[in-house]
Each structure stands twice: as C-alpha cells, then as structure tokens.
Amino acid sequence: VKMVPTRNGFGQALEELGQDKRIVALGADITASIRMDKFYASHPERKNRFFEIGIAEANMTLVASGLAKEGKVPFIGSYGVFVTGRNWDQLRTTVCYNNYNVKIADAHTGISVGADGATHQALEDISNLYYLPNMHLFVLVEEILRQ
C-alpha cells in the first residue's frame, strides 16, 4: 500500500465529487496546500463553483450556509484550529442549527504540523465539534479510506 497524505486523498475526492453540479468548494487562502485546487485544475468549467474567501473562515462558513440553503453542497477547507475554533459560533448557529449540508475539511490537525508552531496546532478540533447538534465527524486517517 502506497502511503500518501490525507490532503491528497481529499483533493482527489473533491475532484471526483465535482461531477455533481451541486458541489461547490470554498477555500480560506490555503487552497493548494490542502489540494482543493484539484476541484477545478483539470476542469476549468468548475472555476465558477470555487470561491476563494481569504483568511476569513467565519465569512466562508456564512457563504457556505447561504449556498447550502439554496440547494448547493458546499465543501469548506482550512486549518483545523481556525475552521473549528475561531469559526465555532458560525458553525453552531448557521450550519448546525439549520442542519445545512456543509462539509468541513479540517487540515493540520493535532500536533502533526510542529514546524508551523502552536498557533496552527489543533488539539481541540474534534472536541470543539463533537457536541454540536447535527454535526457528524469523520476522521480520515489515511488516503486509502477515502476510496
């Protein structure tokens, strides 16, 4: 079995899922880092279904909620510490409360990113989301599980 980073598996899965016109993707300034660019790299016609929000995870979640309300299936992605911590209130009150179908890609979890320092380590990402209503957590530990 060839071991590859889970972010590669996420990018490949997002590319495959992109065949569904309801799928949209939103990034928070780390699109290439977590391989979200695969969604549109080989499919330029999908560029209008990708939104680069910038370093604004809370805003990204609010945009995703609006898209979900209108029938889209948004995938949002950022570093775990920001998408689950700083963004917790928006997840709780817009995504979970309304039971919107928003998918969250949480990259750089735990202490696996030592070189990036404590500000980028998400030690509490799972516990931040665990008790939210209508939140379902899946922890992908290797790319082969994506298949």
Pick the CATH number of 6-146 from 1.10.800.10, 3.40.50.980, 3.40.50.970, 3.20.20.70: 3.40.50.970
- CA–CA separation, 46 and 21 (whole Å): 9
pLDDT of residue 122: 83
Q: What is the pTM of this model?
A: 0.90
- What per-residue confidence (pLDDT) applies to 147? 59
Q: pLDDT value at position 146?
A: 56
Whether 57 is a known active-site residue: answer yes
pLDDT of residue 60: 98
Question: CA dist 19 to 12, 42, 84, 130, Å?
Answer: 12, 12, 28, 30
pLDDT at 4: 76
Dist. CA 71–CA 39, nearest whole Å:
19
Catalytic residue among 16, 45, 52, 57: 57
Which parts of the chain register pLDDT below 70?
1, 114, 140-147
Whether residue 123 contacts residue 110, with contact meaning beta carbons closer than 8 Å, is answered with yes
